Chains A and B, each alone.
Chain A
Amino acid sequence: MTINWFYFSSPSTFYRFAGALAPWFFALAALAATAGLYIGLVVAPTDAQQGEVYRVIFVHVPAAWMSMFLYFIMAAYAAMSLTFNTRLAAMMARAIAPTGAMFTFVALWTGAFWGKPTWGTYWVWDARITSELVLLFLYFGFIALASAFEDPRRGDRAAALLAIIGVVNLPIIYFSVQWWNTLHQGSSVSFKGTSMHVSMLYGMLLMALASWMYSIGTALVRVRAIIVERERRTRWVRDLHPAIPRSVPG
C-alpha cells in the first residue's frame, strides 16, 4: 500500500487531519507528563551530591532536547518549502517556531535555577549555555522575519533561509561540552548507556515523550490557525466555519 503524500500536503486535507489528531497528542502528553512527574518528583531517589534540586532535570533536559529537535524539524520543513515550493511545509515551519522558542526559554530558565545552587551562579558565558541562547535568538529571528513581510510567501522564504543557516548552531550546542572546556556537564544519557538511576532515567524519558506529544499537538493546532489565516478567502474555509453570531437576540 502506498501513501499519497500529495493528498495530505493540501492545506484543506491537512486542516481536517490535524484537527482529528491534535486532541490525541494532547491526551498522550498529559498522560506521559503525569507519569513522568510522579516518577520524577515522588519515586526517584534524592541525588547523593545535588540533593533535591537535581529534580529540575525532569523539565530542563526534555526542554533542552526539544529546543534542538524542534529547530531541526523546523529547518527541515523550511528546506522542503524552499526546494519544493510547498505551502504547507512553510506553514509547518511557522507553526513549530513558537513552541521551539518556548522550550529554549524553559531550558535556559530552568538551567539557571539549577545552576545557582549547584555552580553558585545563575549564568555563565559558557559554550553550551551561550549557544543555547543563540538558538533562542534564532527562533526569535525566524518568527520576526516570517512576520516582517506583507506577502507571507516572501516571509516564508526569508525565514526559511535563516532557519537553514541556523542549523549550524545545533552541532555547536550538542558538541560544545566536548569541544570546549565548559562548566556545563556532559550528557548523562547517550545511546551507549546512562550513569543515572533507572527511575530518574524513566522519569526523564517520560517527560521527553510528553514534550514531544505536546509539541506535535501545539504545532497541529497552530498550523490550523495559520491555514485559516491564509486561506480565509477560499470557499472551503468559509464552508467549514459557518457565520459566528455577533449578538444573541433578546
Chain B
Amino acid sequence: MSHDFYLWMSYGMTAIAIVAEIIALRARRARALLHVEEERELEAQD
C-alpha cells in the first residue's frame, strides 16, 4: 500500500475526531440550554 493511504487515514481520522468533538460540544450546549428552558416552564406552571 502506498504511503498516501497511511497519511490519509491518519489525517482523516484526526479531522473526523475533531469535527465529532465540536458537534458533540454544540449538542451538549444546546441540551443544557433546553434544560434551562424546561426549568423555566416548570416554574411558570407552579
Contacts and interface: CB of A to CB of B under 8 A. Distances in A.
Contact of A110 (B14, B37, B40): B14
Contacts of A51: 3
Interface in A17-49: none
Given A53-B3, A98-B24, A224-B29, A60 B10 contact: yes
A102 interface: yes
Contact of A63 (B4, B6, B14, B33): B14
Chain B binding surface SS class: helix
B9 A113 contact: yes
Contacts, number: 82
Contacts of B9: 113
B21 A102 contact: yes
Contacts of B36: 228, 232, 237-238, 241
Contacts of A63: 14
A154 interface: no
A14 interface: no
A61 to B, nearest CB: 12
Interface residues of B, number: 27
B24 to A, nearest CB: 7
Interface in B1-46: 1, 3-4, 6-7, 9-11, 13-14, 17-18, 21-22, 24-25, 28-29, 31-37, 39-40
Contacts of B40: 238, 243
Given A52-B3, A53-B6, A243 B17 contact: no
B21 A229 contact: no
A63 B39 CA distance: 39
Interface string A46-66: 000001110110011001000
Nearest to A52: B3
B4 A52 contact: yes
B28 to A, nearest CB: 5
A221 interface: yes
Given A106-B14, A110-B13, A244 B6 contact: no
A244 B31 CA distance: 12
Contacts of B13: 106, 109-110, 113
Contacts of A59: 10-11, 14
A140 interface: no
Contact of A238 (B10, B18, B39): B39
A99 interface: yes
14 contacts: A52-B7, A53-B6, A56-B7, A59-B10, A59-B11, A99-B21, A109-B10, A116-B6, A214-B18, A218-B22, A226-B32, A232-B39, A238-B39, A244-B37
Listed from nearest, the 3 A-B pairs whose CB atoms lie closest are A228-B32, A110-B10, A53-B3
